[in-house]
């Protein structure tokens, strides 16, 4: 699981940095609203990639399997949330006619997954023995 989290975090972080640079330098025809939406999606994707990377590092270096259930669940929620929230916004702005953009009503579920990941880590912190 640690390898999945680290691999996804690294690829996702690199991808969103590339996309951010491309949007700023190569997409001058986007509306202010679209640029704002992409900036939010990019920021969320990058912040949550760092969170996922840290979870991967912690899980990979821990030998306490019983204490890893919440962090593992949080990591899976992060991946799900990034895909559902950030990538749907990206597709909705850049390729509005795509089938993925049609999934935009699901975007709030991605946001809820990201929030849930943070809350699972809070639970881990408050209830750790």
Q: In what helix (H) or strand (E) does residue 88 lie, and over which residues does it extend?
A: helix 88-94
Give the length of the chain.
129
Domain boundaries, the chain: 2-127
Contact between residue 89 and residue 41 where contact means Cβ atoms under 8 Å apart: yes
Contact between residue 55 and residue 74 where contact means Cβ atoms under 8 Å apart: yes
pLDDT at 100: 81
CA angle 109, 126, 62 (to 5 degrees): 85
Q: 52 or 25: which carries more pLDDT confidence?
A: 52
pLDDT digits (tens, 9 = 90+) for 71-119: 999 999 999 999 999 999 998 888 888 888 788 899 999 999 999 999 9
pLDDT digits (tens, 9 = 90+) for 29-59: 888 898 889 999 999 999 999 999 999 998 8
Confidence class for position 129, pLDDT limits 50, 70, 90: low
């Amino acid at each position: 699981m640690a390898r999945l989290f680290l691999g996804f975090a690294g690829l996702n972080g690199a991808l969103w940095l590339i996309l951010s640079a491309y949007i700023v330098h190569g997409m001058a025809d986007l509306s202010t609203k679209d640029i704002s939406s992409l900036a939010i999606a990019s920021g969320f994707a990058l912040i949550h990639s760092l969170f996922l990377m840290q979870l991967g590092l912690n899980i990979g270096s821990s030998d306490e399997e019983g204490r890893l259930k919440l962090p593992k669940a949080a990591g899976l929620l992060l991946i799900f949330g990034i895909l559902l929230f950030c990538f749907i916004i990206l597709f909705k702005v850049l390729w509005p006619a795509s089938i993925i953009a049609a999934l935009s009503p699901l975007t709030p579920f991605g946001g809820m997954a990201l929030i849930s990941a943070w809350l699972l880590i809070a639970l881990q912190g408050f209830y750790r023995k």
